[in-house]
A and B are shown apart, each in its own frame.
Chain A
Amino acid sequence: MSRVAVLAGGSSFERQVSLRSGARVEDALERLGHEVVAIDVGRDLVGRLRAAAPDVAFVAMHGAGGEDGTVQELLEILGLPYTGSGVPACARAMDKVATKHLLLEHDVPTPPFFAFNQTAFRELGAADALPAIEQRLAFPIVVKPSSQGSALGIKFARTAADVPAALVAAFSYDHKVLLERFVDGRDLAVSVLEGPDGPEALPVVEAVPRDGDLYDFQARYEIGRTDFICPAELPQAVADRARELALRTYELLGCFGFGRVDLLVDGDGELHVLEANPIPGLTETSLMPQAAEAAGIGFDELVGRILASAFER
């Protein structure tokens, strides 16, 4: 049995979700017989970790600071084993632009996109290229901040007139944003969990917006407005392909321990990888615990396996 520091909270916009993930993890770890030290991550993190002297850290943080390699770097410096992906994988996965370039280089399908930082618009006149971009992507276009993990800042531009405001919104969250072709399809999520023989893809989960308005893009990401179906009702070949693509994405990014890959399946059954989450939510309504459940892995076992992987890195 180990002394486990559960790191949650922090100051990212996903702080609340992270606190909930952390709380569930703490309960599970205690049921498994571990000694838990709960840490709401703040400026005193290093001091608290030194004082607590845990054997291992369970990182249950989402978003900037916790999921982008920052906390992982600190844990490396302190020489403390920790759960989940290492610094380079976190940094790549939190950056949607970097992720998508990597996917394209390895022929993993992802919707066509263009990415810019503010400098491009301010100093290089990128605005003049917007019509060409819009022509290449065709409307509607999804505009999103490159690094924001939740739905915050994601906008849906139906016409050229919507694009500037959507960009302004996305730049509120990040200095880099992407314009992506909208794929009209169903939202899928495939979680990956480290097993005895390496990473395994768990059953596919489908997120279905409750009010059925296909074009209410933002509603898809609001808790309570979405139903989850697991395993997703898909032709076997599509489900297999989704899991294969998720695993491939996970490995290309260099993820470790666990993770979740979000995809879309279009009307022709074609799959498109959207992004990867190195530390997916672990709350009661989160996708990964549901996928694990469908694979016969209870929450405690899930947490136990993630913890065990920390020592195998």
Chain B
Amino acid sequence: MSPPPKPPERSTRRDLERYAGLFSSRTRVMTSSATRDLMAMSDRPDVISFAGGLPDTSTFPTDVFAQLTARIADESCARALQYGPTDGLAETKRCIADVMAAEEMTVDTDDVMVTTGGQQVLDLVAKTLIDPGDTIVAEGPSYPGALNAFQAYQANVVQIDMDSDGMRVDLLEETLDRLEREGRRPKFVYTVPSFQNPGGVTMSLPRRRRLVEVARERELLVLEDNPYGLLRYEGDPLPTIYSLDGGVYVMYLGTFSKIFSPGLRLGWVVAPPPVLARMNLGKQQADLCTSTLSQILVQSYFAHHDWRDYVGSLTELYRSRRDTMLDALAEHFPPQAEWTKPRGGLFIWATLPDFIDTSDLLAAALRDNVAFVPGEGAFLDGRGRSSMRLNFSNADEDGIREGIRRIGEVVKEQVALYGTLTGVPAQAPPRHDAVADASEAPPADEQGARVVELPRRDERERRARRS
């Protein structure tokens, strides 16, 4: 008897190609940009990457993890290996209530649904509320992962400029008026009010209040995405938009990813009951329930350890890394560059002179084994091309100093080359001092007003071209 034929060796690349011809046109669009291929280069082991939004999970005590898993094996093995309810385990919801209480929010656990990471909330909200062609409103720049999730449902995303106080709610109102005149009623407003991704800025209290009023006046839903609220390195906490509204028009997205572990894939959404019921149906279709094992791990952790201690240690660590990156930027970036000085979160948004395209700059930076996220993905209208998002939570301080030095060298080379080409040697007074002392933090309006607000340069150009 001859041996059975050897099955062909399987590989990811092979599978990718084998099924490529079957992909829907929607997924084809998802993999279309040349920049994506560049980004794929940034996970090489020798690259210092400021690209991902990765927390530093190496700081979690391994003995605690061992205790947790042993305890699960001992006490709740069968349950941890079993399916669970679609909306999540009751004990997990109590942990969620605990986390929300730490930001002065009270929540009825009936209004909570546990999800597979915060990203699933973005998908479920879009799935529940968006018909093709519907309008939603977001900040500009905005988290590209959210833009992608919304666009997958063929939403029309309108972006509102930000300054150092977060989304310009006055511009939001103007935009809503304009949309109303055009007969378009946005389904919801998406915002990351605290330590925004990618901008790093925080929405001021007056704007938070005004946003709640606007939502009420216009009966408009708001999706508040708050992954980093507890990672504050200076200044006083601000009330969440959810707490100001009381959960009437505001849906709240939370996650354990940045305060515990993104590997667990545990997030949640709080929404008005009718919306939540719809999302529950959507989640059933998507994955039936969130990982029971992950949920029990969180419960066990919350029951036997003080999760606030770990968040406290992360806060210390990230504050120091943020300061290191701000110092390194001041030392190594040319005076023409500007950047936000976030008071929390994971990201700095840096903007270079207009003539530098950060996607091209990334190619040069990758040659020096350092990576960042080019800004263009954070806008849908062509802006952001001279900006970059820099993550400071994952690399250690030596890596941060060295990586920023390398990017700075490439930027300086390009600035010098541009000066040579235009015959105008680069000159501008230095704008930045190192933020050495948090107590001397610059007044809010210096935190990045010009840095985040980007002129709609490409749009202007396009119009000029057509005329």
Contacts and interface: CB of A to CB of B under 8 A. Distances in A.
Contacts of B44: 11
B57 interface: no
Contacts of A38: 9, 11, 13-14
B66 interface: no
B356 A127 contact: no
A124 to B, nearest CB: 10
Nearest to A9: B13
A225 B25 CA distance: 11
Interface residues of A, number: 49
A153 B361 CA distance: 10
A224 to B, nearest CB: 4
A172 B363 contact: yes
B29 interface: yes
Nearest to A167: B421
Nearest to B33: A222
Contacts, number: 120
Interface in B349-387: 354-357, 360-361, 363-364
B417 A167 contact: yes
B38 A152 contact: yes
**Which of A14, A122, A221 has its CB near the most chain B CB atoms (within 10 A)?**
A122
B26 to A, nearest CB: 10
Contact of B8 (A30, A284, A285): A30
B28 A223 contact: yes
Interface in B21-52: 21, 25, 28-29, 31-34, 36-38, 40-41, 44
A3 interface: no
A26 B360 CA distance: 32
A165 B18 contact: no
A277 B18 CA distance: 24
A15 B18 contact: no
A78 interface: no
Contact of B29 (A24, A127, A215, A224): A224
A296 interface: no
Contact of A15 (B31, B41, B360, B363): B41
Contacts of A40: 13
A119 to B, nearest CB: 11
Contacts of A285: 20
A137 interface: no
Contact of B17 (A127, A169, A283): A283
B8 A164 contact: no
Contacts of B31: 223-224
A14 B433 CA distance: 40
Given A168-B418, A172-B364, A222-B32, A15 B13 contact: no
A13 B40 CA distance: 9
Contact of B21 (A8, A13, A15, A284): A284
Given A150-B34, A152-B363, A168 B414 contact: yes
B112 to A, nearest CB: 39
B41 A13 contact: yes
Contacts of B32: 222-225
- Chain B binding surface SS class: helix
Contacts of B8: 27, 30
A165 B28 contact: no
A121 interface: yes
Contacts of B21: 284
B420 interface: yes
B34 A152 contact: yes
Contacts of A8: 13
A133 to B, nearest CB: 12
A42 B364 CA distance: 20
A33 to B, nearest CB: 12
B360 A153 contact: yes
Nearest to A122: B420
B465 interface: yes
A20 B421 contact: no
Given A11-B44, A158-B465, A163-B421, A20 B16 contact: yes
B14 A23 contact: yes
B34 A165 contact: no
B423 interface: yes
A155 to B, nearest CB: 8
Nearest to A31: B8
Nearest to B466: A215
A289 B316 CA distance: 56
A113 interface: no
B422 interface: yes
Contacts of A163: 421
A22 interface: yes
A284 B354 contact: no
Nearest to B366: A13
Nearest to B25: A224
Contact of A14 (B9, B33, B37, B420): B37
Contacts of B357: 165, 168-169, 172
A173 B14 CA distance: 29
Nearest to B461: A158
A285 B23 CA distance: 12
A182 B364 CA distance: 26
A95 to B, nearest CB: 18
20 contacts: A13-B41, A16-B36, A23-B11, A23-B13, A23-B17, A36-B9, A121-B420, A121-B421, A122-B420, A128-B423, A153-B363, A164-B421, A164-B422, A168-B418, A169-B357, A171-B417, A172-B361, A172-B363, A222-B32, A222-B33
Counting from the closest, the 8 A-B pairs by CB-CB distance are A23-B17, A164-B421, A165-B355, A172-B360, A169-B360, A172-B364, A19-B13, A23-B14
